Amino acid sequence: MVESDEEQLEVLKNWWKENGQSIVIAIALAFFGFFGFQSWETKIKSSGENASAIYQQLLDLNLQETEKKDDAVFELGKKLKADYEGSIYAVLGSLVIAKKYIEANDLESGTEQLRWALDQDHDDSLEDLIRVRLARVLAASNKLEEAFSILENHEPQAAYVSTFEETKGDLFIQIKDLTSAREAYQKAITNKRDDQSLALLELKLADIPLQNEFVDGSGEANKESEGEQ
């Protein structure tokens, strides 16, 4: 038992001699770790702000009516993908670029942009949107099997169920599977979002004939009610 101040001081000196160095190192690591994390956090924030600024510039340019507008938009899209690949702005930029390609009837380039966007990290609602757009472009390119796989191998969020089912219905119409198309449109109506046109969905459903036409072995067209198929 320590009985005097001198003895307590001697114990403290001995303890510091054994443990002091490790304490100093621990404090130094904590100090530099904290400020190192702050530096990293600042860098990430700055990177996000830069990507956001470039994306906003891309949107502003896209609204302009100039001859060289498209070239500038494409360059900004490439920059976002090259320098900020992990950011949401790179994904959003690729969607803008994809739309421009598709509007120019360059479906292959539009598909490449959408595939790239789908492979990136993003939230579920954005993935649902990308899948729908990609499926429609693939369908327009007559790649129907792949278009179906893009939709069927994914469970959309509740808000996108109707859009998924409507797109499936459109694909079924394209392959003349009217029974499946009707079922898909009915599901789309049941799960309709507020921003969707109920009238359009009902029109698509109403346009499906009650009878399917098929070609028999003799090569002649016949009609058979769907209930008998």
Output the CA torsion 154→119→107→128 (10° steps).
40
Whether 40 maps to a domain, the answer reads no
Structure tokens at 130: 């990308």
The one-character DSSP state at 141 is T
**Could you read off the pLDDT of 90-132 as tens digits, one per residue?**
999 999 999 999 999 999 999 999 999 999 877 788 899 999 9
Where is average pLDDT lowest: 20-34, 64-78, 193-207? 20-34
Whether 155 maps to a domain, the answer reads yes
Distance (Å, whole) CA 158 – CA 170? 20
User: Who has greater pLDDT, 67 or 115?
Assistant: 115
Q: How many percent of the chain have pLDDT more than 90?
A: 45
Whether 97 maps to a domain, the answer reads yes
Task: Indicate whether 148 and 203 sit together in one domain.
Answer: yes
How many domains, the chain? 2
Provide the domain limits for residue 169.
144-207
The one-character DSSP state at 210 is S
User: Who has greater pLDDT, 1 or 101?
Assistant: 101
Structure tokens at 126: 């954005």
**Could you read off the pLDDT of 37-56 as tens digits, one per residue?**
444 344 334 456 888 899 99
Question: How many residues does the structure list for the chain?
Answer: 229
